[in-house]
């Protein structure tokens, strides 16, 4: 399945791993913060509308 990477296998695989990990972390972090902020905003808005 994995193509023959020859003697450079470590370099290729590690750079793919590092890059993909960083991108996934960035997306995950963004989405997590986005969800949290959105939930908090809804909470605050509800409180506001209840209190008038």
The residues of the shown chain that bind other proteins, judged by CB under 8 A, are 3-9, 11-12, 14-16, 18-19, 22-23, 25-27, 30-31, 33-34, 37-38, 40-41, 44-45, 47-48, 51
Which residues have CB under 8 Å from 13's CB, separation 6+? 5
- Shortest distance, position 13 Cβ to other proteins, whole Å: 10
- Shortest distance, position 1 Cβ to other proteins, whole Å: 8
Contact 36, 29 (CB under 8 A): no
CA distance 51 to 27: 36
- Shortest distance, position 43 Cβ to other proteins, whole Å: 9
């Amino acid at each position: 399945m994995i193509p023959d990477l020859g003697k450079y296998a470590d370099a290729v695989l590690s750079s793919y791993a590092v890059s993909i990990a960083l991108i996934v972390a960035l997306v995950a972090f963004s989405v997590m913060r986005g969800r949290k902020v959105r939930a908090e905003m809804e909470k605050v808005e509800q409180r506001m509308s209840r209190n008038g």
